[in-house]
Structure 1
Amino acid sequence: MTFKSLLLGSAAALATVSGARAADAVVYEPEPVEYVKVCDAYGAGFFYIPGTETCLSINGYVYFQVGGTSDRDGGLAITDTPGYHGFGYGGYNVATRGRLNIDARSDTEWGTLRSFVRLEGTWGTNADGNVALNQAYLELGGLRMGYTESAWVESMNAGVAVLGSHSDSGLYFANQLRHQVNYTFSANGFAATLSLEHDEGPAATDWVPDVVGVLSYNAGWGGAWAKVAYDNDDLILPGRQGGWSAQLGMQVNIPNMNGSSLRLLGFYADTPNAYAVGSEWSVLASYNHVFTDTFSASVGFQYFNDTNYALAGSPDAWAAELSTVWTPVQNFEVRTESVYTKADGLSGSLSSFVRFTRYF
């Protein structure tokens, strides 16, 4: 027997033994994995929570902003109209913000059941960076309960009947968050909302809530709306007391110019209440033009008559804005905004910022 024959025989014997052991081995089958499934019932970004019929969306943004305002005339604040963005004087202001939205929805026999939570923190020149619960509310069909934008600002199925001008800041439209219970009925482009809202701070020390009513219509050409609000303040505060406010508005979408539109809003208030915009009446006009798929710009103007609500010597005021939005790549935005404000008898103020935002 040669050495080569001995090696071949040994290899054959080992193969036979290994094959026998392999035949006797227990093979464990991997358990099936339940992959996350896309939920397209509520738009892009939703997925099913494994093992449930609930759809979940997690989104938000991070932005970095640099801004500033014109210095005080002669160093005296009393001679200047306040800057719009609230920036500090004497140098540039910085801000970094993170926002996280968690949105859960499911279908029921009573309509969509929804819960929404927003976490937000801002660091910068005038911000401490603490992360806080910014909004939290639930919905069932047309019923909404919780803490979010007042129905004066935004309501269910309102379409274009929300906010102020086209810019991110929106000029002056009494933007505010409220604890609220409201109901919205919607059909064929129409939406009607009745909202009971809780006052904030010292003005909340009574038993009667504020009331907001919204009626809106939306179609392909744009939309129109009417809003009325009553601020019930038994405790009269400096610069604040109960009263009525009203708003009329419309948006016209420019034909053959996708995304371009004109907005017109009118405001009235009989007192400096929570839903007033700083004067007895005010008109706002805003136009947004989409130049390309990645660039748009808007201009806005707002006039204020009788800022002291019919008191003697009441000055008028006005504000003008220019905003641009550039989206060089998907989910990344470069936004600029400049607002000039001027009241009778005071010097004007210019406030501007540039902001870089990554959405997810």
Structure 2
Amino acid sequence: MNIKSILLAAAAAMAVVSGAQAADAIVAAEPEPVEYVRVCDAYGTGYFYIPGTETCLKINGYIRLQVDVAPNASSISASGGGSVPNDSDWDARTRGQVQFTAKSDTEYGPLTGLVVIQTNADNATDQKAQLDSAYIDIAGFRAGLFYSWWDDGLTGETDDIGSPVTLHNSIRYQYETSEFYAGISVDELEDSPFYHGEAANNWGVGVAVAGRAGVFTYQVTAGYDTDNEEGAVRAMGTVPIGPGILSLAGIYSSNPNAYYNKAEWVVAGEYAVKATDKLKFTPAFQYYGHYGIVGDEFNDDNDAWKVGLTIDYQFVDNFAAKISLQYLDPDGAEDVTSGFLRLQRTF
């Protein structure tokens, strides 16, 4: 075979191979269309669809700086932020809280999941992160870690009408309409106060009825502590009068228990006046009958009263200040003056 024949054969082979490669050429696939975040308006403002799902998610929270002023203020702050107790009469602390709420439609109504993460910082090294709430809610049933009805109160800062611990692992059912709700819950009271020699793993039953009748709103809450075998009942109501809103509350507690342990009976009231669109004043008063605990029972020889003033000012949307000043005068003990300044940015 001469040189010419070899070159012609090589050219023919290259042409065959080239044709095969051209036939088998890989064509790049078109990129998948990007699924941008879509607004979900089925459950109110702030929700968006989690990409690729039909679940709606909302993220919100707040940043708060608070300066407490009181005798042994750092010891008081320790209960909420984890500071080292000392005899300082003031203490500053910062809180950051983020809430995630997920909702989706089901044949039983919206399925809700909520998680709240909170961190309290008394200073740069003394910080405490905690799960503030986490629950599942569907068709009126709720299960998980959440605040009881006893966490509700009046709008100011004077009233002392809640449980010593209001965040529990609980299971509850609540029937509600736009103007009314009624519910029952079973609460684990493991970190609540114990009396009569009882120990941890206590549990209780709570009930609540609340609603609106015209301009009047009301709530009646009761709880029974099964280990201490004591209970408490509380009633609250609000009604607009003149330029403000009058709120009243009353409590009866059979003896110290996980639902109420400040006094055997209590009356409280406040009058919230919105002076301008940004400024609100709330003077308030509370009286404690048989205040304090002796042994495992309320002190029948001791009463107390408390007055206070709370001022709220809204600088701009989502940024507000609160100033509170309180005076407590118990029988048989020194009076206490306390207060705080709070700055809070919500989102």
TM > 0.5 fold call? yes
Q: Deviations over 1:314-336 (max 9, x none)?
A: 21011222111111111111111
Deviation at 1:52, TM superposition (A): 1.6
Is structure 2 residue 260 aligned with structure 1 residue 276? Answer: yes
Is structure 2 residue 248 aligned with structure 1 residue 261? Answer: no
Is structure 2 residue 326 aligned with structure 1 residue 339? Answer: yes
Distance in 1, matches of 2:167 and 2:340, equals 24
3-state DSSP of counterpart to 1:131: strand
Query: What is the match of residue 307 of structure 1?
Result: 291
Match of 1:291 among 257, 275, 299: 275
Identify unmatched segments of 5+ residues in structure 1.
Answer: 1-25, 73-81, 154-162, 234-240
Q: 1:198 to 1:218 in 2, by over 3 A?
A: same
Q: 1:314 to 1:348 in 2, by over 3 A?
A: same
Query: What is the match of residue 69 of structure 2?
Result: 68
Deviation at 1:41, TM superposition (A): 2.0
Identify unmatched segments of 5+ residues in structure 2.
Answer: 1-26, 80-84
In angstroms, what is the RMSD of aligned CA positions?
3.0
Is structure 2 residue 224 aligned with structure 1 residue 230? Answer: yes
Q: Which has the higher contact order (CA 8 A, sep 6+)?
A: 1
Distance in 2, matches of 1:191 and 1:127, equals 44
Match of 1:93 among 66, 86, 91: 91
Greater shift, 215-224 or 115-124, is seen at 215-224
Matches within 5 A, 1:341-356: 341-356=328-343
C-alpha contact 1:84 1:340 (8 A) present in aligned 2: no
3-state DSSP of counterpart to 1:280: strand
Distance in 2, matches of 1:65 and 1:54, equals 36
Query: What is the match of residue 185 of structure 1?
Result: 175
Distance in 1, matches of 2:173 and 2:124, equals 37
Deviation at 1:32, TM superposition (A): 2.8
Distance in 2, matches of 1:184 and 1:167, equals 26
Deviation at 1:70, TM superposition (A): 4.4
Query: What is the match of residue 78 of structure 1?
Result: none
Q: How many residues align?
A: 307
Deviation at 1:99, TM superposition (A): 0.5
Matches within 5 A, 1:106-121: 106-121=104-119
C-alpha contact 2:136 2:142 (8 A) present in aligned 1: yes
Distance in 1, matches of 2:153 and 2:47, equals 29
Distance in 2, matches of 1:304 and 1:58, equals 40
Deviation at 1:230, TM superposition (A): 0.3
Distance in 1, matches of 2:301 and 2:107, equals 55
Distance in 2, matches of 1:145 and 1:184, equals 11
Which residue identity is paired with 2:45?
A
C-alpha contact 1:301 1:320 (8 A) present in aligned 2: yes
Which residue identity is paired with 2:185?
S
Distance in 2, matches of 1:357 and 1:115, equals 26
Query: What is the match of residue 235 of structure 2?
Result: 248
3-state DSSP of counterpart to 2:332: coil
Deviation at 1:172, TM superposition (A): 3.3
Greater shift, 204-213 or 325-334, is seen at 204-213
3-state DSSP of counterpart to 1:108: coil
C-alpha contact 1:191 1:217 (8 A) present in aligned 2: yes
Q: 1:313 to 1:244 in 2, by over 3 A?
A: closer
Distance in 2, matches of 1:51 and 1:146, equals 27
C-alpha contact 1:341 1:350 (8 A) present in aligned 2: yes
Distance in 2, matches of 1:88 and 1:289, equals 37
Q: 1:126 to 1:335 in 2, by over 3 A?
A: farther
Deviation at 1:290, TM superposition (A): 1.3
Distance in 2, matches of 1:127 and 1:171, equals 31
Q: 1:209 to 1:127 in 2, by over 3 A?
A: farther
Q: Deviations over 1:181-202 (max 9, x none)?
A: 0001123622110101111148
Q: Deviations over 1:259-304 (max 9, x none)?
A: x422111000111001114111001102211122211121221100
Match of 1:173 among 138, 156, 162: 162
Q: Deviations over 1:110-145 (max 9, x none)?
A: 121101111111111699312221211110110010
